[in-house]
Amino acid sequence: MLFIIGLGLGDEKDITLRGLECVRKCEKVYMEAYTSLLSFGLASDGISSLEKLYGKTITVADREMVEEKADQILSEARTSDVAFLVVGDAFGATTHSDLVVRAKSLGIEVRVVYNASVMNAIGICGLQLYRYGETVSIPFFTETWKPSSFYEKIQKNRGLGLHTLCLLDIRVKEPSLESLCRGRKEYEPPRFMSINTAIEQLLEVEQMEGQSVYNDDTLCVGFARLGSESQMIVAGTMKQLRSIDFGSPLHCLVIVGKTHPVEEEMLDFYKSGTENLEQDVVNVAA
Amino acid sequence: MLFIIGLGLGDEKDITLRGLECVRKCEKVYMEAYTSLLSFGLASDGISSLEKLYGKTITVADREMVEEKADQILSEARTSDVAFLVVGDAFGATTHSDLVVRAKSLGIEVRVVYNASVMNAIGICGLQLYRYGETVSIPFFTETWKPSSFYEKIQKNRGLGLHTLCLLDIRVKEPSLESLCRGRKEYEPPRFMSINTAIEQLLEVEQMEGQSVYNDDTLCVGFARLGSESQMIVAGTMKQLRSIDFGSPLHCLVIVGKTHPVEEEMLDFYKSGTENLEQDVVNVAA
C-alpha cells in the first residue's frame, strides 16, 4: 500500500498521530523535496530529527527522482507498505496527483493522511476561507519574461469582492544555463520569492496593464513561515508591506477583497503601526 | 494563554504531536460542539477516548456556552493555559474569530495549532484546490423559506470555470417551535443535510431561477465522512449522485467546473459504473 502522509507546515511535531503510526509501520519511507522543503528538508538535521522520531531511514526524493523512480516506488508499494511524506497536505498547494494516478492505475491501494496546508492555514489572519477566489501563482520575472496571467485572475476575484491567495515562486534544482550548455547537471542555488519581490512584480504588471485592479494602497496580508515557531503575519497596504523584512522563506501573500466587520476586527490585530513591529507580530500571532 | 487546537477530521488520532503536547499541558480543556461534532463529540465514547488520550477532563462547549461563558474561559486563559479544541482546523469551515478577537482585545496571548480542514481535504478527489471559487452554504429549505443566494455565487464560479465547494446545513441545538412558544428550552433533534437533499434543493432553485447554471447532467463530487475510516467519495452527475446512499453525516458536495486532464484522470477513479459501488469506493479512496 502507498501511504501519502501530510506532515503539516512547521516541523516534525506537526505530523498527526495517525500519520506517525502509518510511517512507523512502513518498510520504505520517501519524502518529497519538490517545494516546501525548507522547514524540514534542506537542513540535514531536519531530516535526522524526522528519522529519529519515526525510527526509519528517509529517502529524500526530488522531482527528478520521483519521475525517474516512480516505477520502483510503486513496485515496492505493491508488495509492502511505502510512505510518501509531503510537507503540508498531500493535495494542498502542491499536488501529487500524478503519483496517485499511476498507483491507482496499477491497482495499488492508496491511503491519504490529511494535514494542514497553506491553503487553509491562511485562515488565521481572519479573512474567511470561503470568501477566496481562484488562487494565483507569481513566477519570478526576468528581463525578458514577465508572464502575468495572474493579473486577470486577480481582477476577476476583486470584481467579485473575493480575497486572492498568491503563491510565490520557488526555484529548486533549476539547471544552470551554463550547465545546460555544457551538457552537465549543475544547479542554480535555490530561490524563494519574498513578499517584497511579489509586490514589486504585482505593481509592475498593474503599471503595464493599467486596469486599476489594485495599487499601492491595496490592503494585503503577508505570511512568512506559516506554522513554524517564527511565523510572521502582517496586514498592511502594498506600499507598507513592500518595505517590511519578513525574513527567511517561505512567504505567501493575500490580496484582501471586500471585508466583513468580523474579518476587519481580526485583521486589525495584524496591522503594523508600532515601531516594534516584528516583536509585536510574533507575540500576537506566533 | 489560549490555545486553539485543530483536531483534524477523523478521530482522536488526527491531532498533531504539537497539538497533543499543548493540550496535555493545559489546565483547562474546552471542546467546541458547534458543528462537526459528529465524529468526536456526539458519541460519549468519542469524548472519553479523547480524555483518555489527553489525560484531561474535557468540557464540551456548545455555541450558547461559548457565548455565555466566554468571559470565564478568557479569564482562565489570562492566568493559566487553556485549550479550546476545534474539529478540523480553527479557521476552516467554521470560524472561531470571535473568541480570538475577544482574547486578543484583552491582551491574552493566543496560539493556534493548525490541522486539516474540509477546505483542503477535498483536494483528495483530484480537483486542484487553487481552482475553486467562492464557497457556498446550502441551508435546509422549508415550505415557505427557500433562501438561494448560493445560486448566484455558483453562477459566477461556473462562469469563470471554477469548482464550487458546497457546505451543507447542520442544525444542532435548534430550539423547537413548541418550546419557543412555551418559553422553555427544548431542542429539535440534530439534522445534517445529505448530498441527496442538497442536490434536490440545488435543482429546485435552478428550476425557479432558470439561468441554466447547472442541471441533472452537471458533474459533481460527493464526500461523506471525509477523513474518517469510512470516508466515501463518489464523482458523478447530479442525477447519479442524487440516488446514492452516502450513509451517515457529515456530507459535502463539490460542483465541478472546467477540468484539466490531470484532474479528470483522478476524478475517473471516483466515478461510479460498477454494480459494487460502495465497496469499490471504499477500497479506492478510504
In DSSP terms, B252 is beta-bridged to B167, B223
What pLDDT was estimated at residue A93?
60
Residue type, B168: L
- Residue B95 has what pLDDT? 61
Min CA distance, B54 vs chain A (Å)? 12
Residues of A in contact with B15 (CB under 8 A): 16-17
Do the annotations mark residue A226 as ligand-binding?
A: yes
A92-106, A125-139, B9-23, B154-168, range with the lowest pLDDT: A92-106
pLDDT for the residue B33: 76
Say if B106 is an interface residue toward chain A (CB within 8 Å): no
- pLDDT, residue A41, reads 46
Q: Taking a contact as any Cβ pair under 8 Å apart, which residues of chain A between 185 and 244 contact chain B?
A: 227
Q: Which range has the worst mean pLDDT, A226-240, B19-33, B49-63, B222-236?
A: B49-63
Identify all chain A residues contacting B102, using CB atoms and an 8 Å cutoff. Answer: none
Residues with Cβ within 8 Å of A188's Cβ and at least 6 positions away in sequence, in order, are A171, A174, A175, A176
Helices assigned H by DSSP within A106-194: 118-121, 149-159, 177-182
A52 interfaces chain B, CB cutoff of 8 Å = no
Cα–Cα dist A281/A246, whole Å:
11
CA dist., res. B58 & res. B115, Å (int): 19
Quote the percentage of chain B above a pLDDT of 70.
89
ipTM confidence score? 0.90
CB nearest B121 (choices: A114, A162, A283): A114
Return the DSSP state at A271. Answer: B
Spatial separation of the C-alpha atoms in residues A181 and A187, rounded to whole Å: 12
The two domains A2-116 and A119-285 share their CATH topology (first three levels equal): no
pLDDT category, B278, cuts 50, 70, 90? very low
State whether residue B12 sits within 8 Å of chain A by CB.
yes
Separation of first and last alpha carbons in chain A: 37
- Report residue B66's pLDDT band, with 50, 70 and 90 as the boundaries: confident
Of A89 and A95, the structure prediction assigns the larger pLDDT to A89
Give residue limits of the domains in chain B.
2-116, 119-285
Fold (CATH) for B2-116: Cobalt-precorrin-4 Transmethylase; domain 1 (3.40.1010)
B119-285 CATH: 3.30.950.10
8 A C-beta contact, residue B37 and residue B94: no
**pLDDT for A86 beyond 80:** yes
**For position A45, what pLDDT does the model report?**
65
| pLDDT tens digit sequence for B91-105 | 876 667 888 999 999
Report residue B276's pLDDT band, with 50, 70 and 90 as the boundaries. Answer: very low
Distance of alpha carbon A129 from alpha carbon A162, whole angstroms:
10
Average pLDDT over all residues of chain B: 88
| B258 touches A: beta carbon within 8 Å | no
Q: CA-nearest residue of chain B to A137?
A: B130
**Residues A103 and A75 sit within 8 Å (Cβ to Cβ):** no
Whether A123 and B95 lie within 8 Å, measured CB to CB: yes
B16/A16 CB distance under 8 A: yes
Q: pLDDT tens, A211-248?
A: 999 999 999 999 999 998 899 999 999 999 999 999 99
Of B111, B122, B100, B114, nearest in space to B15 by CA: B114
The angle, 0 to 180 degrees and rounded to 10, between the axes of the packed helices A149-159 and A195-209 is 80
Residue pointed to by grid coordinates 461510479: B272
Q: What is the pLDDT of residues A145-187, one digit of tens each?
A: 999 999 999 999 999 999 999 999 988 777 777 777 777 777 7
Give how far B201 is from chain A: nearest CA, Å. Answer: 20
Among A30-34, A183-187, B115-119, the least confident range = A183-187
> What crossing angle do the helices spanning A17-25 and A44-54 adopt, rounded to 10°?
80
Which grid cell sits at B63? 455555541
For the record, the C-alpha cell of B124 comes out as 483528495
Closest Cβ–Cβ partner in A20, A91, A167 for B17: A20
- Cell 477523523 found at: B10
DSSP B179-215: HHHHT---BPPPEE--HHHHHHHHHHHHHHH-S-S--
Q: What is the Cα–Cα distance from B47 to B55, expressed in whole angstroms?
A: 12
